Amino acid sequence: MTMQVLNAVALFERDLLIERTQSGLKRAKSEGKPLGRPSTVNDEQKKGVRDDLAKEMSVSAIAKKFRTSRQTIMRVRDDGSRSVRP
């Protein structure tokens, strides 16, 4: 009986925590605050990455040039191709 009461209280607290978290995220989004991890490359560097990709430079070479990961370069490449599509 005692364990059931403790379990019910724990589940209730979990639901409250989720509700507060979701509420905070919605408020932050409505205020225009950026969410998530900051980008390692700025807009100017992204343009440079796209220029190097257009010159058919390898992803690994570009990553070394900008001192970032290959995944970051591929993400910039993929984001750029999405923005060009109609």
Does residue 29 sit in the same domain as residue 50? no
**For position 85, what pLDDT does the model report?**
46
**For position 69, what pLDDT does the model report?**
94
**For position 60, what pLDDT does the model report?**
95
Give percent above pLDDT 70 in the chain. 92
Does residue 51 sit in the same domain as residue 28? no
pLDDT in tens, 6-45: 999 999 999 999 999 999 999 999 999 989 888 889 999 9
Does residue 53 sit in the same domain as residue 80? yes
Does residue 29 sit in the same domain as residue 48? no
Number of domains in the chain: 2
DSSP string of 7-60? HHHHHHHHHHHHHHHHHHHHHHHHTT---SSPPSS-HHHHHHHHHHHHTT--HH
Residue 86 pLDDT grade (very low, low, confident, very high; cuts 50, 70, 90): very low
State the average pLDDT for the chain.
91
Q: What is the span of the domain harbouring residue 47?
A: 43-84
Does residue 72 sit in the same domain as residue 54? yes
